[in-house]
Structure 1
C-alpha cells in the first residue's frame, strides 16, 4: 500500500450530499477568508472518486463549502482544496479510522458542553459590563463624529468663500483686459500705419529720383512716355509704322496694360511690362523718337 498523502483537487469537481443551508453563511464566509489568508486548509477533507475527474464528500462538508465560498471570493486563489482520496486499496482502513475519530469527537463535545454552560454564565456577566462600557464608548464616538461633521461644514464653507473670491478676481482681470485691449490694438494699428506711411514715402522718393535720372538722359523721354500712356491703337501704329521695331502684337500689349489706371512711369517699366520688347529695342525706339520729334 502506498503512503497516504493529501492531493490537490479542483473545488468545482466536488459534490456533497449535505445541503449548504446546514451551515451558517457567517461561518462559511469567515472560514473562507481564513483559507485565502492562510493559503489553504489545515485539515484536508476526505473524498471518494465517482468518475475520472469527479468526487463526492465523505467527510469535511463544512470545509468543502468554505472552500467553495473562497473560490467565489477569489477564483484564482480558491481553485483547489487539499483532500484525501479514498482508493480501493485503502478505503476500508481510512473509513475505520474516520469512525473512531468521529466517536472521540462526540465524547469530547459532550464534556465540553457542560464547561461551555458554565462559561456562558460568566461571559454573560462580562458581556453586561462590556455593554455598559461600550455605551460610554459609543457616546464618545458620537461626540467625535459630531465635531468632525462641524469641522467638515466649516471647511466646505471656507472653500466656497475662496471659490467665490477667485471668481470675482477672474472677473476683474477679464474686465481690465476688455478695457485695455482696444487701446493696445489702437496703439499697434497707429504704429503700423506710421511705418506704412514711412515706407510709402521712401518708395515715392526713390521713384521721383528715378524719373529725374531718366529725364536727365534724354530731353524728350516724357513725350515718348506720354505717347505710350495716352495714344490709341491708330496713333501708336502711325508713330511706329516705319520703324519696324513695334508690330501690331506689341501695340496691342501696350493697350492691354490699363494705362489709365497704371501708367508707365519709365522706359524700364515699359520693357518690364511689355512682353517681346527688350532693352535694345527700347533704346532704338527712343533714338527714333528723338530724331523724329525734335523741338
Structure 2
C-alpha cells in the first residue's frame, strides 16, 4: 500500500550521487520549485529507519528540492509517496516499467551535445511552466467558485421573507424556532406552529389579520387565540430585527 506524505528533505537520502545530474538543470528546477511553492511531482520513497527514507524514484527531483532548500531554507519538506515493505517489489516493477516506457518513447536525435543540453533545459522549463500555469488556473477556478458561493449566500441573506410568507410556507420546526425567537415559550411556540400548519392546509392565510383570527390553541379546557393582534405586532417587529438564513 502506498501513502502520500510531506517528508523532511533532511530525512531523505539517495543512492545516486548529486554529481550524476547537471547543476545547471538542478538550479533551474529549484527556481521553479520556489516559484510554485513546492515540488509538483511527488518522490517515491521507501522507509529505511525511524523517520529515514531513501529515494526509489525521483532522484533528480530530490536533488532539485535539496537545491531549492539551499536557496531558501523555508522549503524544508517535499511531497512523497512512501511505499510499504509489502508493496515495495510491486512498486519497483511499476517504476521500472515506466522507465522503459519513457526510454522507448524518447525521439532519436543527431544534434550536438550542446544542443541536447539546451533542448533538455527548454523542455524542463516548458513542463514546469505548464504545471505552474495549471496550478494558477486551478487556483483561479477555486477562487471564482468561492466568490460565486459567497455571492449566493449574500443574496439569500439579503432576500428577506415577508411575514405572511413565513406563516404560509415555513415548516413546523422553522415556525417554532421563529416564534420562540419572538418571545413565545417552547410549549406555546409548538402549539401555535401546529395550529398554523392545520389551518393553512385548509387554505392559505390571506393576511396577518387572518392569521390572528384563525390560529387558536388549547388553554385549560377551552381554546384561545394563539396570537393576539398586539402580539402579532411584537412578533413582526422582533423578526425585522433578526437575520434568518
**TMscore range, shorter length:** 0.3 to 0.5
The structure whose RCO (Cα within 8 Å, separation 6+) is larger is 2
TM-score (norm 2): 0.43
TM-score (norm 1): 0.36
